Chains A and B, each alone.
Chain A
């Protein structure tokens, strides 16, 4: 029972982090219809910047720098995509983001080297005792921070000018243009926000008990992708549910690994993708996705 509770909390925590990354995917997709495969390297970029500066400046100033650099990087990618964006199909642009992802990640791996870096986050290796269950403080912090961020985002979607402009533009770009809504601005803000979300996510992705930041972080981030897909690529709520689902399933599969040994060890690693495939077989547009996504 203790193991189950521990896995549940860990699953919730990991899931919350996936949800943040998935939310970034979804925001960009809604604003531009481009699937951004570079999200993993943006996250790496944010994490790398924090690790570069947290020794000298402390964690929080470094975090601010990390968010700024990742947001700027995201904006740069967005601008590059926009140059010939209207002439290229969104599929082409998605593949361009794969290229961008590989380039950024390669450069960062070269700079990071072989040793995992710490971001000097304030949680360190502390643990908390929640009703007899021992969990890493960073995992609990991840849940709280993600919940706050997600709430803030949902309020922004619902009530801010940008939120309404983005939803209007996602639903009918031409009608939105006729209202004077500038899609380029909506899209730029979406990318900046995705950069911010990725940087916050990376803190928890590489915090204790994970050894630290190294090249494998992009692979970790990639698990947010099935989360976004199974939630429905154009559904912000779906990203959250998808993230939690993937995180939970992954942690449970890892925790009960010995029961799953007939499938071979480490089944948790592929769990997110297994769930994604099962969900897509039943609901091709994801759990909460719009059915008519194929419309151009």
Chain B
């Protein structure tokens, strides 16, 4: 389980996250919705420990993690048992804990081949050679196109294929929690659908997914739980199917005349959902 508690992240004078709290339970898919600049990527950077590369600082709050299955016995008694602080870890150590991110814009290594990209993804894993081969076979089953293109330079792949490579590359580290930053960005609707299916499949294999998206319709379909992030704060959260029915989400993220209704007015009509303050 991942637990983000009252997280404040600042880049110089800009406060990008102003006290964000959320949880990703074991074996779940959790979506974080929000428009550009809401702080979605900052949240993932802080979890992965790459905010420092952007001169970001965690000013307050904490991020803790416990991989599924660890301390299962304690779990009944105490929700927080076995949670370990990860907000001071460097990116490599975070990966070592089983949290791997597929970044926004895919960021595949274009000059490397598909195979080399996958090897780069599995680099940190302490798995044996046979376990790594097995992981790669799993990735190839999930993304057959990657097997076909394995010797090709990654820059020659189409946008959708590059997204699959980015996800496959992240999976090579056998994560227990996969952070996906806008996997639908710039992709055709059918491909987005396909990405959604794949997220469910990945989740079915026992990996939790924290899915950050602007494309709310796909995200809300695959996630059990969702949070709406607005200028650095969680403005709304709840079960994904309930959230999908709220006016705010419908209007702002599902594309039903977003311009006319302001966010705060829309939120007022969703009293049955948890309001997040602070």
Contact = CB atoms under 8 A, between A and B. Distances in A.
B50 A172 contact: no
B123 interface: yes
Contact of A175 (B103, B124, B173): B103
A56 B173 CA distance: 51
Interface in A167-204: 167-168, 171-182
Contacts of A172: 107, 109
Given A164-B112, A168-B112, A171-B112, A178 B120 contact: no
B221 interface: no
Contact of B95 (A164, A168, A175, A178): A178
B50 A179 contact: no
Interface string B80-120: 00000000001110111000111100011111100011011
B13 to A, nearest CB: 18
Interface residues of A, number: 17
Nearest to B108: A175
A161 B119 CA distance: 8
Interface string B167-209: 0011001000000000000000000000000000000000000
Interface residues of B, number: 30
Nearest to B179: A178
Nearest to A180: B124
User: Looking at chain A's contact residues, is the secondary structure mostly helix, strand, loop, or mixed?
Assistant: helix
A227 to B, nearest CB: 22
B116 A180 contact: no
Contacts of B92: 177, 180-182
B50 A174 contact: yes
Contacts of A180: 91-92, 94-96, 100, 123-125, 173
B232 interface: no
A252 to B, nearest CB: 34
A268 to B, nearest CB: 36
Given A168-B112, A171-B110, A174-B107, A179 B124 contact: yes
Most chain B CB within 10 A, of A164, A167, A181, is at: A164
A175 B53 contact: no
B111 A179 contact: no
B34 interface: no
A262 B196 CA distance: 73
A204 to B, nearest CB: 32
Contacts of A178: 48, 50, 91, 95, 100-103, 107, 170
B19 interface: no
B121 interface: yes
Contacts of B109: 167-168, 171-172, 175-176
A70 interface: no
Nearest to B172: A179
Contacts of B96: 180
Interface string B32-65: 0000000000000000101001000000000000
A142 interface: no
Interface string A136-177: 000000000000000000000000010011011001111111
Contact of B121 (A171, A174, A179): A179
A165 B123 contact: yes
Given A171-B110, A178-B103, A165 B120 contact: yes
A179 B53 contact: no
B234 to A, nearest CB: 24
Nearest to B44: A178
Nearest to A161: B123
Contacts of B90: 182
Interface in A126-142: none
A181 B169 CA distance: 13
Contacts of B119: 161, 164
Contacts of A173: 53
Nearest to A175: B107
Nearest to A87: B55
B50 A177 contact: yes
Interface string A28-70: 0000000000000000000000000000000000000000000
Nearest to A162: B123
A3 B101 CA distance: 61
Nearest to B95: A180
Contacts of B102: 178
Contact of A181 (B101, B110, B120, B170): B120
11 contacts: A164-B119, A171-B111, A176-B109, A177-B50, A178-B91, A178-B95, A179-B100, A179-B124, A179-B169, A180-B124, A182-B90
Interface of B: 48, 50, 53, 90-92, 94-96, 100-103, 107-112, 116-117, 119-121, 123-125, 169-170, 173
Interface of A: 161, 164-165, 167-168, 171-182
Given A178-B48, A181-B120, 9 more contacts: A164-B116, A168-B120, A171-B110, A171-B112, A177-B53, A177-B91, A178-B101, A179-B124, A179-B173
